[in-house]
Copies of this chain bind each other. A is one copy, B any other.
Amino acid sequence: MRYKIQYAMALNKKNSFGKKEQDLAECAKALAHPARIAILKVLAQHNECICGEIVSVLPLAQSTVSQHLKELKNAGLIIGTVDGPRSCYCINWKAFEKFNREFSFLFNHLKTEQACC
């Protein structure tokens, strides 16, 4: 079948949802790439500021790692401070706790009885 109609923009409907849903989804999106999980893992294991070490551990170009770090920072999951020509990143544990709390709150309701499936 041919489609002759010109479609309207694939509208971004994300704003049609509640703030809680949006925030949770935003946070999950930051976690939705193995490179970012790996970065967080490295930061968690060191629990101190790392910078170029992350690049040397990951199988990605420096610019790509920098971009992933930026996304984690924008999501609030890590904190970055500039120290001369190098940057220093740490996990924002409070943000993680908040994520866990919100996440559990949404889904821990009726875990006891399953009506079907």
How far is it, in angstroms, between the C-alpha of A103 and the C-alpha of B100 when the chains are bound? 9
Indicate whether A85 reaches chain B with its CB closer than 8 angstroms: no
How far is it, in angstroms, between the C-alpha of A38 and the C-alpha of B18 when the chains are bound? 9
Contacting pair A28 B32 (CB below 8 A)? yes
> Interface size of A by Cβ–Cβ distance < 8 Å?
51
Copy number in the complex reads 2
Residue-wise interface mask of A (76-115) relative to B, using a CB-CB cutoff of 8 A (1 in contact, 0 not): 0001110000001111010010001001101101110111
Indicate whether A29 reaches chain B with its CB closer than 8 angstroms: yes
Contacting pair B13 A60 (CB below 8 A)? yes
- By Cβ-Cβ distance, the 4 closest A-B pairs, closest first, are A48-B115, A90-B117, A17-B34, A28-B31
